């Protein structure tokens, strides 16, 4: 018998078809207790379907789902120790926040005094302790999001499933909520499974990330592992911005055949098109096709003499916007440490 201790979720060869569409095409995954785990991927890659199968809203076509070592594949949603937070919070407009948060406990016949105490504690966890008697209409979007979280936490589930919970918020608020959500998760110690198509969000918040593509997982790893050692060209392109050097350009520049991923922030742009040989460095020469001043940084798109293009991102330490304009159409040298030539494994 295998030991499942410490494992919150275990998926084995999970599949789901809707008619001819294979939404999930064989997913194996282990998520540890207390992890902040993100499922990241483009629209239609199957993340939400996996989440809905874990929640019990969608029966799998085949495969198994275990929660805390117990096979729950055929159990109803309410028989599983999980709670789902959706993007459209679904709060009851006529109830106060306390009533909204306590509602699930009422359904489960928890005594009134305990209900109220737990609802207040959950509202305090999301920093809304002074808002208990308000109604949802009197709240901002971010506050409503927090009420939805409080409602999820009050039932003390072992696992919280979150489907793009920050999707409806504007960028500033979204960034603030990312930090808060991560802090909250650490505090309560509940396993979070977070679905997003936003790679920055996944990189910021997660202990580990699974990158989905066409119903399959292409890579599971820590944010740094996925960013620095992408397992496929797809992952390199989807997570962060990546330059892929292939075929002749790779042979000429890196000196070896294969596909290489180089992150734009690793590449230094030099004003002179002649690059002196520096030990352990890779160099190239090209013409600036496009230069974009971004405030804190400048992005260069360079047509390489060896063929292909590279994007380079430079911090604007001493650079002004006038300096940047002078680069347009200029011949430049490019240089980066050879350890940043990451060889992408061949397609799966
Ligand atoms: P998004 O970020 O847009 O939600 P996703 O990665 O979560 O995308 P899913 O919602 O899991 O992707 O969908 C995966 C595939 O399954 C898509 O092709 C989708 O159209 C299809 N699909 C999902 N739900 C159903 C359904 N109820 N009936 C038919 N097809 C479905």
Q: Which pair of tokens denotes residue 272? A: 């002179």
Average pLDDT over residues 171-191: 88
At 348 the pLDDT is: 46
Q: Which of 51-55, 130-134, 142-146, 190-194 has the lowest mean pLDDT?
A: 142-146
> Residue 89 pLDDT more than 80?
no
Ligand 1: centre distance to CA 99 (Å): 33
Q: Is 44 in the pocket of ligand 1 (CB under 6 A)?
A: yes
> Residue 4 pLDDT more than 70?
no
Going by CA atoms, what residue is nearest to atom 15 of ligand 1? Answer: 23
At 1 the pLDDT is: 42
Q: Is 196 in the pocket of ligand 1 (CB under 6 A)?
A: no
Ligand 1: centre distance to CA 41 (Å): 12
| C-alpha dist (Å) from residue 207 to 33, 156, 191, 223 | 12, 21, 11, 7
Instruction: List, for residues 94-110, the tens digit of each pLDDT value.
Output: 999 999 999 989 888 99
Q: Which atom of ligand 1 is nearest to the CA of 19?
A: 29
- 31 neighbors 8 (Cβ within 8 angstroms): yes
At 277 the pLDDT is: 76
At 79 the pLDDT is: 92
Going by CA atoms, what residue is nearest to atom 24 of ligand 1? Answer: 49
Instruction: List, for residues 225-240, the tens digit of each pLDDT value.
Output: 999 889 998 999 899 8
Q: Which of 12-21, 45-54, 154-163, 208-217 has the lowest mean pLDDT?
A: 154-163
> Residue 2 pLDDT more than 70?
no
Ligand 1: centre distance to CA 45 (Å): 7
Taking the model in full, what pTM does it have? 0.86
Burial class (CB in 10 A: 0-12, 13-18, 19+), 115: buried
Query: What distance in Å separates the CA atoms of residue 198 and residue 43, rounded to the nearest whole number?
Result: 10
Instruction: List, for residues 113-171, the tens digit of each pLDDT value.
Output: 999 999 999 999 888 999 999 999 888 888 888 899 899 889 889 999 999 888 877 88
Q: Which atom of ligand 1 is nearest to the CA of 24?
A: 14
At 173 the pLDDT is: 82
Query: What distance in Å separates the CA atoms of residue 229 and residue 122, rounded to the nearest whole number?
Result: 39
Query: What distance in Å separates the CA atoms of residue 228 and residue 213, rounded to the nearest whole number?
Result: 19
Best mutation site among 48, 163, 215, 218 for ligand 1 pocket (most ligand atoms within 8 Å of CB): 48
**What ipTM did this prediction achieve?**
0.94
Return mean pLDDT, the chain: 90
Please state, for a pLDDT cut of 90, what percent of the chain lies above it.
Answer: 63
* All structural domains of the chain: 7-238 (3.40.50.300), 243-343 (2.40.50.140)
Q: Is 21 in the pocket of ligand 1 (CB under 6 A)?
A: yes
Going by CA atoms, what residue is nearest to atom 3 of ligand 1? Answer: 43
Q: Is 24 in the pocket of ligand 1 (CB under 6 A)?
A: no
Q: Which atom of ligand 1 is nearest to the CA of 52?
A: 11
Going by CA atoms, what residue is nearest to atom 29 of ligand 1? Answer: 18
Q: Which atom of ligand 1 is nearest to the CA of 215?
A: 14
């Amino acid at each position: 018998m295998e030991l499942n201790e410490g494992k919150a979720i275990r998926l084995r060869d999970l599949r789901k078809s809707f008619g001819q569409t294979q939404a999930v095409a064989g997913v194996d995954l282990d998520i540890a207790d207390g992890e902040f785990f993100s499922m990241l991927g483009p629209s239609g890659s199957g993340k939400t379907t996996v989440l809905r199968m874990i929640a019990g809203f969608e029966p799998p076509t085949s495969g198994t789902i275990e929660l805390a070592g117990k096979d729950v594949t055929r159990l109803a949603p309410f028989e599983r120790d999980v709670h789902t937070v959706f993007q459209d919070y679904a709060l009851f407009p006529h109830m106060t926040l306390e009533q909204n948060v306590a509602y699930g406990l009422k359904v489960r016949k928890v005594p009134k005094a305990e209900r109220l105490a737990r609802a207040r504690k959950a509202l305090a966890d999301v920093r809304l302790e002074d808002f208990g008697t308000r109604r949802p209409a009197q709240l901002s979007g971010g506050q409503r999001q927090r009420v939805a979280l409080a409602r999820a936490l009050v039932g003390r589930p072992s696992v919280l499933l979150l489907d793009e919970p920050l999707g409806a918020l504007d960028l500033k608020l979204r960034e603030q909520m990312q930090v808060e959500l991560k802090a909250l998760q650490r505090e309560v110690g509940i396993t979070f499974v977070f679905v997003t198509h936003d790679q920055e969000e996944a990189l910021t918040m997660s202990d580990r990330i699974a990158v989905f593509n066409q119903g399959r997982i292409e890579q599971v790893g820590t944010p740094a592992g996925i960013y620095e050692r992408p397992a496929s060209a797809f992952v390199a392109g989807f997570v962060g911005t990546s330059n892929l050097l292939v075929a002749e350009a790779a042979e000429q520049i890196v000196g070896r055949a294969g596909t290489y991923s180089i992150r734009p922030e690793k590449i230094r742009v030099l004003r002179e098109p002649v690059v002196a040989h520096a030990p352990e460095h890779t160099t190239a020469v090209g013409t600036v096709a496009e230069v974009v001043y971004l405030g804190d940084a400048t992005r260069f798109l360079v047509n390489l003499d060896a063929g292909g293009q590279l994007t380079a991102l430079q911090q604007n330490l001493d650079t002004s916007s006038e300096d940047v304009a002078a680069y347009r159409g200029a011949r430049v040298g490019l240089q980066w440490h050879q350890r940043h030539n990451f060889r992408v494994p061949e397609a799966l």
